[in-house]
Amino acid sequence: MDFSLDDEQVALRDAVRSLVTKTYGDFEQRRRASAAEPGYDESLWRQLAEMGVLGLPFAEDDGGMGAGPVEVALVAAELGRVLAPEPFLASVVLAGGAVAAAGTADQRSELLGALASGERLLALAHEETVPVTASRSGEGWSLTGTKEPVLHGARADLLVVSAALPDGGTGLFLVEGTDAETDGYRTYDGGRAARVRLRDAPATALGEPGADQATTLAGVLAAARLAACHEALGGMEAALAATTAYLKSRKQFGVTLNTFQALNFRAADMYVSLELTRSIVDWATMVLATGDPARAGEASARAALQTSRAGRHIGQEAIQLHGGIAMTAEYLVGNITAHLTVLDHLLGDGRQHLGTLMTGVGDYEALDPLDPTMRSTSSQ
């Protein structure tokens, strides 16, 4: 068991950190970027592309960097730390992840190359309000239904859409942004999402036409869930750092707030939540890196449950310990809490993960993170 990063990973983290801090180190800049369309800083996005960050998880043959979940995690955490609104999770991890997992060799090299270079923005349309169904139409397919919320769905050049197949199962399809009716809006954390209406929208099958991609999609969602956990960890770390700095500097009753032990203890409990979450999220990332889909699915649910609990705890306490200032839109901490809330609900929330995990509780004796099966029945 080894939780430490190697030199290359440290170098990647430092490079991303310095780049995003240059852009968003001052929170005012983040406010400006998220106030204007498309909701993020396009020059930063280009710089990330130049650094290879947008192609990080994809195979080198497909135009990517051939890195793994740990590297994705490092990037997500750095973006989370400064609350960068860039669509790394939406476009690279989710949509790109789906293309990488399900696409044909041609689709992969065409689309992932364009995504990695920053030329095209992809979005995954999965959550839906009116079920999307696919039907064959001539050589291709056509899709009908409504997807919402689709992260960065209005800005995306190309949508990766999940849809019910005529013979059952879930297919993945590519729809040009111009062939969908998209209504974009701001999410409450300053991000971007859209309603995407598809009316007989022309679509191309991603991967083998008609194949059920449900398992592949589940794997993509599990990986994205972990990236979201890392983004949340970055945010929680920043929230705690801001809170401790504030307690040391804010004066009331003639003294700084850290004179009051009740407040220090609450900060200490935030630290406890943070460390426990880091442990389980890092572990789940290592599980994901082993490439075993069943284990990765469960590990990501476990990490997400813990992250959900910690995100609520740290986010709420960060606001409380700051007092009124944290309620203002121009202050970092309240915005982190809003973003943590979005991340929680994005890919299955705490209640849902707990629901999944509790069904299996009677099937094993104890959890064992060091055992490849994760379950132990040996402690007699």
The residues that touch another protein, with contacts defined as CB under 8 A, are 1-5, 70, 240, 244, 247-248, 258, 261, 264-265, 267-269, 271-272, 275-280, 282-283, 285-287, 289-290, 302, 305-306, 354-355, 357-359, 361-362, 365-367, 369-370, 372, 376, 378-380
Minimum distance of another protein from residue 233's CB (angstroms)? 13
In this structure, the dihedral spanned by the alpha carbons of residues 224, 228, 234 and 238, taken in order and rounded to 10 degrees, is 160
Minimum distance of another protein from residue 1's CB (angstroms)? 5
From first CA to last CA, the distance across the chain in angstroms is 25
| Distance between CA atoms of residues 148 and 306, nearest Å | 26
* φ, ψ (nearest 5 deg) of residue 221: -65, -35
Which residue, 177 or 315, has its beta carbon nearer to another protein?
315
| Distance between CA atoms of residues 155 and 110, nearest Å | 19
285 within 8 A of 244, measured Cβ to Cβ:
no
Please spell the DSSP secondary structure of 70-137, one letter per residue: HHHHHHHHHHHHTT---TIIIIIIIIIHHHHHH--HHHIIIIIHHHHTTSS-EEEE--EEEEEEEEEE
Minimum distance of another protein from residue 285's CB (angstroms)? 7
Minimum distance of another protein from residue 57's CB (angstroms)? 16
Which residue, 86 or 344, has its beta carbon nearer to another protein?
344
| Distance between CA atoms of residues 315 and 324, nearest Å | 14
Minimum distance of another protein from residue 2's CB (angstroms)? 4
Which residue, 47 or 258, has its beta carbon nearer to another protein?
258
CA–CA distance from 95 to each of 164, 170, 220, 237, 365 (Å)?
A: 18, 16, 9, 27, 38
Minimum distance of another protein from residue 61's CB (angstroms)? 25
Give me 40's structure tokens.
Answer: 């993020």
Which residue, 161 or 374, has its beta carbon nearer to another protein?
374
Minimum distance of another protein from residue 272's CB (angstroms)? 5
CA–CA distance from 353 to each of 228, 282, 312, 347, 366 (Å)?
A: 14, 18, 15, 10, 18
Which residue, 1 or 329, has its beta carbon nearer to another protein?
1
Q: What's the residue count for the chain?
A: 380
Contacts of 166 (CB under 8 A, 6+ apart): 133, 134, 135, 136
Which residue, 118 or 311, has its beta carbon nearer to another protein?
311
Cα–Cα–Cα angle for 237, 242, 245, rounded to 5 degrees: 125
Which residue, 329 or 370, has its beta carbon nearer to another protein?
370
Which residue, 144 or 376, has its beta carbon nearer to another protein?
376
Minimum distance of another protein from residue 28's CB (angstroms)? 26
